[in-house]
Structure 1
Amino acid sequence: MYVVLVYDISQEKNGAKRWSKVFKISKKYLSHIQNSVFEGEISKPQLVQLQQEMKPYIDTEWDSVIVFKSRQEKWLDKEFWGKKEDKTSFFL
């Protein structure tokens, strides 16, 4: 499946450290696109693993992680407004 993952980690309660951990975990599985946005192909088991790795660092009172899922990238209509910096253009 193709996913777009976005997150907003609060700076409350040691947020900088949590943000760093969430960023590093996301980068293991997906391509970093912009600030707190990642996208890429991922299997269902990998997505479950990603979620499990992130779980200890997400404070459900302060933080938000959203995963948009699609069957394939071709079903996702990507449109750029402003500077076009497509970091996924290396995919075949």
Structure 2
Amino acid sequence: MYIIVVYDVSVERVNKIKKFLRQHLHWVQNSVFEGEVTRAEFERIRSGIRELIQEDEDSVVIYKLRSGPNREIIGVEKNPMEDII
């Protein structure tokens, strides 16, 4: 499955979330990650996010898609997908 993770977390947790998600997904722009994952990887990501955030303060939205998105970028692409090996 293809997922997009969007987060809005307290300043003291931003770097922890970003570092964790970079281990699993492709960074698209500030607070946005995406990538193809297995069901097991998805569960690890969801579990890891739950451990890092404060659910009464932070917000994380995970979009699940059956295939990769059809993206259109307007303006500067922060981290081009072509850079992935």
State the TM bucket, normalised to the shorter chain.
Answer: 0.7 to 0.9
Matches within 5 A, 1:38-77: 38-73=33-68, 76-77=69-70
Letter in 1 for 2:26: S
- Shift in Å at residue 84 of structure 1? 3.2
Letter in 2 for 1:8: D
CA distance in structure 1 between the partners assigned to 2:79 and 2:32 by the alignment: 12
Contact in 1 for aligned 2:5/2:63 (Cα 8 Å)? yes
Letter in 2 for 1:56: E
Contact in 1 for aligned 2:27/2:79 (Cα 8 Å)? no
- Taking structure 2 as the reference length, the TM-score comes to 0.85
The residue aligned with 2:9 is 9
- Taking structure 1 as the reference length, the TM-score comes to 0.79
Structure 2 alignment gaps of length 5 or more:
none
- Give the 3-state SS of the residue equivalent to 1:54 in structure 2: helix
Percent of aligned positions with the same letter in both sequences?
31
Q: 2:80 aligns with which of 82, 87, 91?
A: 87
Letter in 2 for 1:67: I
- Give the 3-state SS of the residue equivalent to 2:81 in structure 1: coil
- Give the 3-state SS of the residue equivalent to 2:22 in structure 1: helix
- Shift in Å at residue 79 of structure 1? 1.4
> After TM superposition, which residue ranges in structure 1, 4 or more long, deviate above 3 angstroms?
none
CA distance in structure 2 between the partners assigned to 1:49 and 1:29 by the alignment: 9
Letter in 2 for 1:54: I
- Shift in Å at residue 85 of structure 1? 4.2
